[in-house]
Chain A
């Protein structure tokens, strides 16, 4: 972190305000326009990202083990987990819906977690190769993160729509909370990651 790329604002001691994006000397410690604290780089960015990623990993366990949805049909109640729901949908022949749920609820959260871990690891190791790929990976991560909530949306819509008293009713299970928290925490992790760190590894070389 000590070395910044040559011809970067950081070398000049200029920091960008986190709130209003005004470029100001870091030495004055607070933004002359909005008064918020000035940092050359987001403080403890890696630590925050890692901590949130680990939290998300912990949340991923109950999100998959606990039932996300309880269907009560004619007095029989059926608990279904995320993967169980996907398998049920495949059995029913609804392959497109199964694919959407599988991608949104299983592939994207896991993929995002692994990508973030890889980014953090790369920054930590000051890898200088494939920085462009990393940047685009970061962009993909930010883009797909918002779609992770699809499963939660599905459950929410079903719970609201299907409430026919004794005949059939659907309730959300504890995994829905864990899954929602998982998505939020991964988004926060992506948010707290300072992408400039990817390029800091270039040192004094011109980008």
Chain B
């Protein structure tokens, strides 16, 4: 019995009860592995502040679906930012791409509307806007401002570049013929390029309206413009007047271009008018130099050939002038850079047209092709440059200034009149008027003396009796004339009376009585 007992226990081996802790252990290991395997990516988001964000509570949402949870919130190493660590669901791993964006959703009340009301009760959350770039990014910078358009909305995303902020702010409408088709999403200032970047969005299907030739302009507020063409006042709708807005369209006489892709940059023109300034691709640059005042000549002023708009003034080349002339620059004509666009003239907006325009101008200069500075608007004094052919001008050679060809200039218009008036005044100035008046004075005095003497002469007796003697003389003359008349009559009737006596000869009598 004592021998058999150990055999029995050996046969039984390890009791089956040990399966229980092994199963528990395996289950534990499997759960740990499963959790580890199924946990999504951990990401860090750098934010300016952690207002409304709580570790373990704040969710990360995309399209209002929770895809992750904030695990910790701590200060950044520079102590000026907040680093939020969050764990995303495994399914959301694919949403993390190079240009994925995060921002904190809070209640937002602005002129453009109210958003994020849902966060009043549930607290803020972090919105994830899925991007398009390469996947795999894990560290993100949170956006300061909330993009107005939810991610994934069909439409066109693009950037408007402008040199001044104007009245544009987030949420401003983008209008097409006065109808809102999109909005401004964010506004940033790029220090490097000194440009304001407005990220904007146009909803489908209106995004098809934007093509490569589309121009955008600021439709904010009231635009008041006094140019060579006159005074212009434009206002947008009441909404754009109050909060600003962007409008877009095609420049005059320009057809729609190629469709554009997301991320394209457009220049934001200051107003509707300025989009027409550069609708042409090709241009030729010339320098015109004027010795007269260029006050009133502004960049953008028109350049006209016989009244046809053919280009515009680019800028005054003062730096080049200083560089070229050095210290002897005093009194030199002021060079002005102008752009002539062959597309405006019948040369065609091609590089070939530009070459033809160049040749034509070169030939024209031989025949008196000259530039003049003309006054466009007497009220505002704005100037424009007029090109014309003056056949009387002597042939001139085309020169160059700062590497650009020049067009000879002549003074004309108001300026030439002013010059003539000046010359006249100068001549008047040169006259010795004082001497003239002095001598005139002397002459007048002498004249007075002469007149006095004349008066004395007239009142003398001789002169007084002159009429009587004239009268008697006249009587005498009368009588004389009468006798002369009698003589004439006699001569008429009897011309020989001059020779023969006037004694009438007796008429011959018949001799009948006489033997």
Say yes or no: A76 contacts B123, CB within 8 Å. yes
Whether B21 and A58, one on each chain, are in contact in the complex, defined by CB atoms closer than 8 angstroms, is: yes
Interface flag for B428 (CB, 8 Å): no
Complex CA distance for A48 and B17, rounded to whole angstroms: 6
Residues of A within 8 A of B122 (CB): 74-76
Chain B residues positioned under 8 Å from A74 (CB to CB) = 121-122
In the complex, what residues of B have CB within 8 A of residue A44's CB?
A: 12, 15, 17
Residues of chain A lying within 8 A (CB to CB) of residue B17: 44, 47-48, 51-52, 192
For B, the interface residue count at a CB cutoff of 8 angstroms equals 18
Structural contact, A47 and B24, CB atoms closer than 8 A: no
Distance in angstroms between the alpha carbons of A196 and B25 in the assembled complex: 30
Contact of A62 (CB < 8 Å), options: B14, B18, B31, B121: B31
Of A51, A75, A78, A79, the residue contacting B21 (CB under 8 A) is A51
The A42-57 residues at the B interface (CB cut-off 8 A) are: 44, 47-48, 51-52, 54-55
- Tell me how far the C-beta of A178 lies from the nearest C-beta in chain B, rounded to whole angstroms: 9
Q: Mark A1-35, 1 if CB is under 8 A from B, else 0.
A: 01000000000000000000000000000000000
Bound complex: CA A80 to CA B17 (Å): 34
**Contact between A55 and B31 (Cβ–Cβ < 8 Å)?**
no
Query: In this assembly, does B20 line the interface, its C-beta being within 8 Å of a C-beta of chain A?
Result: yes
Q: Tell me the complex Cα distance, A77–B59, Å.
A: 11
Residue contact B28 to A61, C-beta cutoff 8 Å: yes
Residues from chain A with a CB closer than 8 A to the CB of B57 are 76-78
Which residues on B sit within 8 Å (CB–CB) of A77? 57
Name B's interface SS.
helix
Chain B CB within 10 A, most for which of A48, A61, A78: A48
Beyond A74-B121, A75-B122, whether A55 also contacts B15 by CB under 8 A is: no
Bitwise interface map of A from 53 to 89 toward B, beta carbon under 8 Å scored 1, else 0: 0110011011000000000001111110000000000
From B2, B17, B123, residue with most partner A Cβ within 10 Å: B17
Residues in A whose Cβ lies below 8 Å from that of B31: 62
Known contacts: A55-B20, A55-B21, A58-B28. The answer to whether A47 contacts B5 by CB under 8 A is: no
A181 to B56, CA, bound (A): 28
User: Which among A48, A55, A78, A79 is the interface contact of B24 at CB below 8 angstroms?
Assistant: A55
- Are B24 and A59 closer than 8 Å at their CB atoms? yes
Q: Which residues of A contact B12 (CB under 8 A)?
A: 44
Interface flags for B336-374 (1: CB within 8 Å of A; 0: not) read 000000000000000000000000000000000000000
CB distance from A88 to the nearest CB of B (A): 14
Enumerate chain A residues within 8 angstroms of B18, measured Cβ to Cβ.
Answer: 47, 51
A interface SS class: helix
Bound-state CA distance A82–B50 (Å) is 29
Contact B2 A2 (CB under 8 A): yes
CB-defined contacts of A48 to chain B, threshold 8 Å? 15, 17
Cα distance A61–B57 in the bound complex, in angstroms: 24
Across the A-B interface, how many residue pairs have beta carbons closer than 8 Å? 45
As a 0/1 sequence over residues 11 to 35 of chain B, the CB contacts with chain A under 8 angstroms (1 = contact) are 0101101101100110010010000
Given contacts A74-B122, A76-B122, contact A62 B15 (CB under 8 A): no
Contact A51 B121 (CB under 8 A): no
Most buried by A among B2, B18, B20, B24: B24
Which residue of chain B has its CB nearest to the CB of A48? B17
Chain A residue contacts of B24, Cβ below 8 A:
54-55, 58-59
- A2, A51, A76, A78: the one contacting B20 at CB < 8 Å is A51
Contacts of B15 in A (CB 8 A): 44, 47-48, 51
Which residues of the other chain, B, contact A61 by a CB distance below 8 angstroms? 28
- Least CB distance, B56 to chain A, in whole angstroms: 7
What CA separation (Å) do A196 and B14 show in the bound complex? 22
Contacts of A79 in B (CB 8 A): 56
Within the complex, the shortest CB–CB distance from A191 to chain B, in Å, comes to 12
A129–B25 alpha-carbon span in the complex (Å): 35
Nearest-Cβ distance from residue B71 to partner chain A, whole angstroms: 12
Using A76-B57, A79-B56 as known contacts, say yes or no to A54 and B121 having CB atoms under 8 A apart. no
Interface string of B103-126 (1 = CB under 8 A from A): 000000000000000000111000
What residues of A have a CB within 8 angstroms of the CB of B28 in the complex?
A: 58, 61-62
The distance from the CB of B61 to the nearest CB of chain A, in whole angstroms, is 12
How far apart sit A51 and B22, CA to CA, in the bound complex (Å)? 9
Chain B neighbourhood of A75, CB < 8 A: 121-123
A58 CB contacts on chain B under 8 angstroms: 21, 24-25, 28
Chain A 96-111 interface residues, beta-carbon cutoff 8 Å to B: none
In angstroms, Cα B374 to Cα A32, docked, is 135
Do A52 and B121 touch (CB < 8 A)? no
Give Cα A91 to B127, complex, Å. 33
> In the complex, what's the smallest C-beta–C-beta distance from A143 to chain B, in angstroms?
24
**CA A48 to CA B15, docked complex, whole Å:** 8
Top 3 A-B pairs ranked by shortest CB distance? A75-B122, A54-B21, A55-B21
Binding site for A on B (CB under 8 A): 2, 5, 12, 14-15, 17-18, 20-21, 24-25, 28, 31, 56-57, 121-123
Chain A to chain B contacts (Cβ below 8 Å), 16 pairs? A2-B2, A2-B5, A44-B12, A44-B15, A47-B14, A51-B15, A51-B20, A51-B21, A52-B17, A52-B21, A55-B24, A61-B28, A75-B121, A76-B57, A76-B123, A79-B56
